[in-house]
Amino acid sequence: MGFAPASLTPQTPSSPVKIHLQSLTRHRIKLIFSSFELESHQECSYDRVDFYDGGSPETPTIGRYCGSRIPPMVVTTGNHLFVSFRSDSSVQRKGFQAHYSTACGGILQAVPDTVKSIFSHAKYGSVSYDNRADCDWTIESSPEYRVFLSFVTFDVEEEKDCGYDYVEVFNGLDSSGLSFGKLCGKTKPINLSSTHDGLLVRFRSDDTVASKGFHIIYEAIEEDSLEI
148 shares a domain with 96: no
Q: Is the confidence at residue 39, as pLDDT, over 80?
A: yes
Q: Is the pLDDT at 12 greater than 80, yes or no?
A: no
179 and 220 inside one domain: yes
Q: What is the CATH number of the domain that holds 94?
A: 2.60.120.290
What average pLDDT does range 92-107 have in this prediction?
A: 87
How many residues does this entry show for the chain? 228
Question: Mean pLDDT, to the nearest integer, of 57-66?
Answer: 95
pLDDT at 62 over 50: yes
Asked if residue 1 is part of any domain, the answer here is: no
Same domain, 19 and 49: yes
- Quote the mean pLDDT of the chain: 88
Q: Report the b/e string of 8-29 with b at 16+ CB within 10 A.
A: beeeeeeebbeeebebbebbbb
Answer yes or no: do 35 and 98 share one domain: yes
Handedness of CA 6, 11, 17, 19 (dihedral sign): negative
Reported as a pLDDT band with limits 50, 70 and 90, residue 6 is very low
Q: How far apart are CA 205 and CA 212, in angstroms?
A: 12
Query: For residue 94, what pLDDT band results from cuts at 50, 70 and 90?
Result: confident
Listed residue (196, 90, 157, 3) closest to 167, CA to CA: 157
Query: Which of residues 48 and 228 earns the better pLDDT score?
Result: 48
The string of pLDDT tens digits covering residues 81-90 is 999 998 887 8
Residue-number span of the structural domain to which 38 is assigned = 6-104
Separation between Cα atoms, residue 26 and residue 227, nearest integer Å: 25
Domain edge (last residue) among 57, 83, 104? 104
Question: pLDDT of 154-206, one tens digit each?
Answer: 999 999 999 999 999 999 999 999 999 999 999 999 999 999 889 999 999 99
